Amino acid sequence: MFLNQRSPIRNTVAESNLFTRRVIIAFAIVCALISVLLINLYSIQVSMHESYQTRANGNRIKIIPIAPNRGIIFDRNGVIIAENKAVYSLELVAEKISDIEQTVTLISNLITISDDERERFFKIKRATRRFKKVTLKSRLSPAQVAKISVNLHRLSGVTIEARLKRFYPFKESLTHVLGYVGRMTKKELQTIDKNNESANYAATRDFGKQGIEKYYQTMLHGVAGYQEVEVNHRGKVIRVLNQVLPQHGQDLYLNIDVRLQQQAYTALAGRRGSVVATNPTNGAILAMVSSPSYDPNLFVHGISTKEYTKLLSIDKPLINRATQGAYPPASTIKQLMAIAALEEGVISETSSINDPGWFQLPNVVRKFKDHLAWGHGKVDVYRALEKSCDTFFYDVAYRLGIDKISTFMYQFGFGDYTGIDIHEEKPGIMPSRSWKRARHNQAWYTGDTISLGIGQSYWTATPLQLAKATAIVAANGQRFTPQILGASQQEQSLLQIPADDYAPVELKNERHWKIAQTGMWKVVNSVGGTAYRVFKDASYVSAGKTGTAQVISMGEDEKYDASKMKERHRDNAMYVGYAPFDKPQITLAIVIENAGGGGSSAAPIARQLFDTYLTDNNDFKSSRVLAQRSTNQQELNHAQSH
């Protein structure tokens, strides 16, 4: 039986007993080790059960945020000026596709895929987390959507995604009011993080970049919803456990009248310039145009370098001239100088000077010339405004002195932000002694003061500031922060959002408003007024003031192209005005760069806009629309509360 048995004498009983002992020891060890396993399993399954249970749920339950739909923007008459449109894009999940090159080729047989798109797709794919969708082609046409859709069964891992994208139907004409939305940047994300808003923005792709879209980003955005879903290890959704729908952003009603806006844009006809229309009784901005402009829709889908380079042209379409273009106000502030002089008693309603065609400081040779070389002769304050007499205001400025001028003008908002509800704004310059010291490190010379009288020298103002200052005169000192937003559509009700008003400008003698207003009336209505011919057959009575500014650059950082120097050295045409004269409803400020005389170039635009706004009786109609909406809403609320 045994092979190679060398020791025939074996104690089989002893061997058997030895084995039994060993087996018992082994079995004891087995039992001990199984106990160790059980103790460990007990600690995992019973003592630490809660923690592992939580982690198991954490594995399987994912919160998928749902982006709210951005609020729609309407003009004051309920015309949609910014909306959300479905845009289709072709997206691939690389991990679900066996041969990605082949699939892309297959798709490019159906619809054209440019080399650029192909290249970009593979570049983004490499940098994308696994099982995330990567866009191959965006903005599919309906025909392309159809072509891909019927072939989807052959293309696993390929989906057509519909996303709502911002669309601006009025394109260029409203750009500087609305701004635009674009893909969120890292910096914006950081700001969101800092404000503890990251959960709310988890699914949001676009962010307001400029204008109203930026200023009212929070209102327009809404509140994100979420889905609580069960997912498998690959992140594939198995079922929805719970869902909270997002609250779409508030719809905004702007004070802008889109017809007025478009008319103003058309009237500028691509010239460099700006038109601002406000309601002097409530600060509402009725129109705000900056020309040249650009199509904001370009930015929504990401602008190409080529397109963007075009926007960097010398005409600077990106700048909002209405709020960022700082122009010398020129003669458009003469009525304000008149009020200041009347208030300080340096002139009276009846006092006059003799204008020889120039003004001279005592003991100084240099002459400050009037625009009329032979002078206006005997000039009182009314005539000075009507004819825009420079000499009269040289004298006024000289007698007022810099300190009184700047202090007075601050009340009308010069040299300061107007507080309009967009972020793109410059304060302009209202010069003063301390300003010149800080800016140029020079003392103020009396010579500097003289040209302030005709709104030149260091003085610059934006068209919006001019509109605001004019509105204050028209409204006898009432002051409002200019505001684009008119109302917001909450869940149930329409909420009117009036502009802030603050303490009116108080004059020692209220009649001084009337004097300035009458002066402006004469500009338009008195034969020989600088804007008389433009308005002579108007069906309403308006008041205004022309301006013709000697050109200084609109921005201090602007570099002039030498070859264009001549054209750009022409005067800026300006006009401010309001109508109707007895009960003002609209104030205008118009600047057209290098267009020549204000009376001949800018005033006609004012005429057009007044015609439209007043003869169509737009304001009353539109306020009725808004009022009607709010009553309807109130009735609805009322009905619901019962």
Partner 1 sequence: MLSPTKTADGYAAKRTFSQRIHIDIPLLLGLLTLMAFSIAIIYAASGQNDAMIKAQVIRMGISLAAMVIIAQISPSGLRRWSMPLFGLGLGLLVATLLFGHVGKGAQRWLNLGIVNFQTSEAMKVILPIVVAHFITTYALPPKLRHVIIGFIIVIIPTLLIAKQPDLGTSILVASSGVFALFLAGMSWRIIGSLIVSLSAFAPVLWFFLMRDYQRQRVMTFLNPESDPLGSGYHIIQSKIAIGSGGLSGKGWLNGTQSQLEFLPERHTDFIFSVFSEEFGLFGICTLLAVYLFIIARGLYIASQAQEPFSRVLAGAITLTFFVYLFVNIGMVSGLLPVVGVPLPLISYGGTSMLTLMIGFGIVMAIHTHRRVNK
CA–CA distance from 76 to each of 80, 213, 217, 355, 383 (Å)?
10, 17, 19, 48, 39
Catalytic site residue from 274, 293, 331, 451: 331
Binding stretches for partner 1 (CB under 8 A) = 1-7, 9-12, 15-16, 18-20, 22-23, 26-27, 30-31, 33-34, 36-38, 40-42, 44-46, 48-49, 51-53, 55-57, 59-60, 230-234, 238
Q: What is the dihedral of CA 189, 191, 194, 198, to 10 degrees?
A: -40
Q: Could you tell me where the DSSP H helices lie in 305-455?
A: 305-311, 321-324, 334-344, 381-387, 390-400, 402-410, 433-440, 446-452
Q: Least distance in Å: CB of 186 to partner 1?
A: 24
For 53-114, the DSSP string reads HHHHHHHHEEEEEEPPPPPPEE-TTS-EEEEEEEEEEEEE-GGG-S-HHHHHHHHHHHS---
Least distance to partner 1, CB of residue 143, Å = 40
For partner 1, which is the closer residue by CB, 31 or 636?
31
DSSP for 210-268 reads SHHHHHTHHHHH-B-EEEEEEE-TT--EEEEEEEEPPBPPPEEEES--HHHHHHHHHHH
Least distance to partner 1, CB of residue 237, Å: 11
For partner 1, the closer CB: 18 or 636: 18
Tell the smallest beta-carbon distance from residue 66 to partner 1 (Å): 22
CA nearest to 200, candidates 230, 181, 214, 220? 220
The CA distances from residue 334 to 353, 455, 602, in Å, are 16, 7, 17
> Are 278 and 596 spatial neighbours (Cβ–Cβ below 8 Å)?
no
Query: Cα(381)–Cα(386) distance, rounded to whole angstroms?
Result: 9
Nearer CB in complex with partner 1: 11/305: 11
Smallest separation, CB 22 to partner 1 (Å) = 5
Q: What CA–CA distances, in Å, run from 31 to 39, 40, 43, 46, 81? A: 12, 14, 18, 21, 80
* Tokens, residue 453: 């009288």
In the complex with partner 1, the residue whose CB is nearer, 9 or 562, is 9
Question: In the bound complex, what is the minimum distance in angstroms from residue 227's beta carbon to partner 1?
Answer: 17
Structure tokens at 536: 């002579």
Identity of the residue numbered 510:
E
Token readout for 239 is 């079922």
CB of 231 to partner 1, least distance (A): 7
Q: Is residue 331 annotated as part of the catalytic site, yes or no?
A: yes
Side-chain-facing half-sphere of 154: CA atoms under 13 Å: 13
User: What does the chain come to in residues?
Assistant: 642
Q: How far is the CB of 95 from partner 1 (least distance, A)?
A: 14
The CA distance from 73 to 484, in Å, is 11
Q: Give, as one character, the DSSP assignment of residue 570.
A: S
Structure tokens, 502: 């603050």
Rounded distance, CA 484 to CA 588, Å?
A: 15
Residue 110, burial from CB neighbour count under 10 angstroms (0-12, 13-18, 19+): middle
Q: Which residues are catalytic?
A: 331
